[in-house]
Chain A
């Protein structure tokens, strides 16, 4: 629809309606409803009380989830957005409420997650006076938001919220924070809502030049060993089908970044695996052997590239990317296709010659055999006394047929989940990729379960990260959110311990944990809980856990000192990936 037509439609809708006189607080809620919001995650406090007071009357339209800590609200909003592509919304009060959101905002920023955070602020006449619970949240959040704005008048509210949603979801998505002073929440305004469709200084969706499309297609048609790197951008632009059409036509192998997982089904014949520090052997080795690297909606994170000076130097590089500042940031490109992934793929595919690269693809499979023998036979075998994380994940993958939403925390279990969960459906990985936020999984999973109520949502944590946001069990219990909670307990901060073992002469400095009784802890929140301590008992207990209606907790006691392999050490090249 053109802007003009949209305008006419909007006008027609409002003809004869007198603007409603409401308070700023109510205007906030009405604006959210206009934006199609139905779920909020938040926590009340002094400076946001007028909004909460109005929320009392909007319970039928806005489902507010009371979290147990504002960080949980931010991660829940992220989890919600990551599974259903809507803008996640979180609400907090001023001061500590607002600062508690910061980790979640930073996480959403680096992982391009559309989110709107609404914070209360002290009354405008108190700004700058060190008033009770005053903090400069606009200042603090600037580096970790795509945009932020402080509202001091009720009349600004509709426009600020419209702009916030537009900016959060358009282009490369990201978090936006709107800080609203308490007096603006009390003040009255004639509510009129106009969705934002443009910001004159902001061009969210660049259109790639025809030349870049031609040159890219030409390079692909000439390549002998082309190789696609699938990033999060594929899912953000809903380009899964276009990607498959593109790859299938030209017969190009595809590997995925952490956040790109699940965009391509694990059993697709051209899918060769997972990239990066703990990725699969072939995808890493072959990066330095391909003759053409086609990066789609990914940003060459250091966890993917290893040593940049020795990264794919032999290859030409095509970078399909919506954010111009990512071009040449880490890896120098030969062709930059600055575009939304879907639009770019749709334009390139018709120009491709049909091709197959069977020998090239077979090289990946040869690597798989090596990885199977050197890594997986052990990782998935039962030679150890205790079950290993990898075994648990593989069993989970089999039992859920690769159809679950996997929400991970950060560390060894995250890497094993990325390696051994065989994703069949898109939008199924919710993981803190860029920021690496321990404590992410539990709140993000409750958000994901709200966002995808028809799907099985599994929260996977280690014993360390789990305890960083464990209070969200309260939220899960209160709202009966059907999260399947899995804790892989090795009584260690496993990934740090692994690094200590490998690079710090096994000096296990402050990584061993004495843990509470996790079963009792879950039970104290009235959540059904069980613990699997032996390999033999695991399968039955996992069945019981997965088949229980509503939230359910399972702790699995895993090998204490097990390492994740393969591994690219810091400073090593992708081709130097070690198998043990």
Chain B
């Protein structure tokens, strides 16, 4: 069965141990996390996880999302297909200068891929490329024959096309009388 790629946008409190609490929900279902990025969000003191994973179907992916949202320190967990988000990754490529004697060629590759040269040292160049995984991978393939000294790619960061009403949700929680 062809697996489908999903992105989770998870809004959380910024607390110790939460990454473990979230990641073990994948572990128990034997799902590999393709990428995981955590950072601040647009709301002060609210953290954001972006997790990319593959799932057999949307139904199973939704079960993962619900079990994540159930965690005490998770405010909301949104599940998206690729088409529902704007996303980006950044990749860095360290290439030995010896292997790129032809400066025209470097320029061409960089220009063609809408990449840029981040650092030019005596013996190496660092090229930066932002884009989707497929794009950064294409550049990787292109540079590989010239001998890549190092390569690294960030996890996905993603913003949804739909409105995510986290601030109003938090305000609502704050106002509600808790019922025990």
Contact = CB atoms under 8 A, between A and B. Distances in A.
A199 B72 contact: yes
Interface in B16-31: 16-17, 20-21, 24, 28
A570 interface: no
Contacts of B165: none
Given A3-B177, A199-B72, 19 more contacts: A139-B17, A142-B17, A142-B21, A143-B24, A143-B28, A170-B180, A197-B180, A198-B176, A201-B12, A201-B73, A201-B173, A202-B173, A204-B178, A204-B179, A323-B70, A324-B70, A325-B63, A325-B66, A325-B69
B72 A147 contact: yes
A148 B178 contact: no
Q: Is the interface of B mostly helix, strand, loop or mixed?
A: mixed
Contacts of A166: 178, 180
A146 B72 CA distance: 7
Nearest to B45: A200
B62 to A, nearest CB: 8
Given A199-B72, A324-B66, A329-B63, A148 B180 contact: no
Given A142-B24, A325-B67, A204 B177 contact: no
Interface in A174-198: 197-198
B143 interface: no
A2 interface: yes
Contacts of A142: 17, 20-21, 24
A319 interface: no
16 contacts: A3-B177, A138-B17, A142-B21, A143-B24, A148-B17, A170-B179, A197-B178, A198-B174, A200-B170, A201-B73, A202-B72, A202-B173, A204-B179, A205-B180, A329-B66, A340-B179
B178 A150 contact: no
B74 interface: yes
Given A146-B72, A170-B178, A201 B13 contact: yes
Contacts of A388: none
A205 B180 CA distance: 7
B92 interface: no
Contact of B180 (A139, A204, A323, A324): A204
Contacts of B28: 143
A169 interface: yes
A198 B70 CA distance: 15
Nearest to A327: B66
Interface in B64-102: 66-67, 69-70, 72-75
Contacts of A204: 178-180
A139 B177 CA distance: 32
A167 B180 CA distance: 9
Nearest to B15: A149
Nearest to B24: A143
Contacts of B180: 166, 169-170, 197, 204-205
Interface of A: 2-3, 138-139, 142-143, 146-148, 150, 166-167, 169-170, 197-205, 323-325, 327-329, 340
Contacts of B13: 200-201
Contacts of B179: 170, 204-205, 340
A147 B73 CA distance: 9
Contacts of A203: 173, 176
Given A197-B178, A198-B178, A325 B173 contact: no
Nearest to B174: A200
Contacts of B62: 328
Closest 7 CB pairs of A and B: A325-B66, A198-B178, A201-B75, A147-B72, A197-B178, A205-B179, A325-B70
Interface string B116-157: 000000000000000000000000000000000000000000
A198 B172 CA distance: 12
Contacts of A139: 17, 20
Nearest to B63: A329
Nearest to B66: A325
B74 A3 contact: no
A327 B62 CA distance: 11
Nearest to A198: B178
Which of A2, A199, A201, A327 lies at the interface centre, i.e. has the most chain B CB atoms within 10 A of its CB?
A201
A139 B73 CA distance: 16
A3 B177 CA distance: 6
Contacts of A3: 177-178
Contacts of A200: 13, 75, 170, 173-174
A479 to B, nearest CB: 31
A201 B176 contact: no
B178 A167 contact: no
A2 B177 contact: yes
Contacts of A197: 177-178, 180
**Which among B20, B69, B74, B177 has the highest number of chain A CB atoms within 10 Å?**
B177
Contacts of A202: 72-73, 173
Contacts of A329: 63, 66
Interface string B42-71: 000000000000000001001100110110
A171 to B, nearest CB: 9
A167 B63 contact: no
Contacts of A199: 72
Nearest to A176: B72
A327 B24 CA distance: 21
Contacts of A147: 72-73
A434 B174 CA distance: 34
A169 B178 CA distance: 12
A328 B59 CA distance: 9
A199 B177 CA distance: 11
Nearest to A340: B179
A392 to B, nearest CB: 39
A325 B74 CA distance: 14
B44 to A, nearest CB: 13
Contacts of B70: 323-325
Nearest to A171: B180
A150 B20 CA distance: 14
B161 to A, nearest CB: 24
A138 B17 CA distance: 8
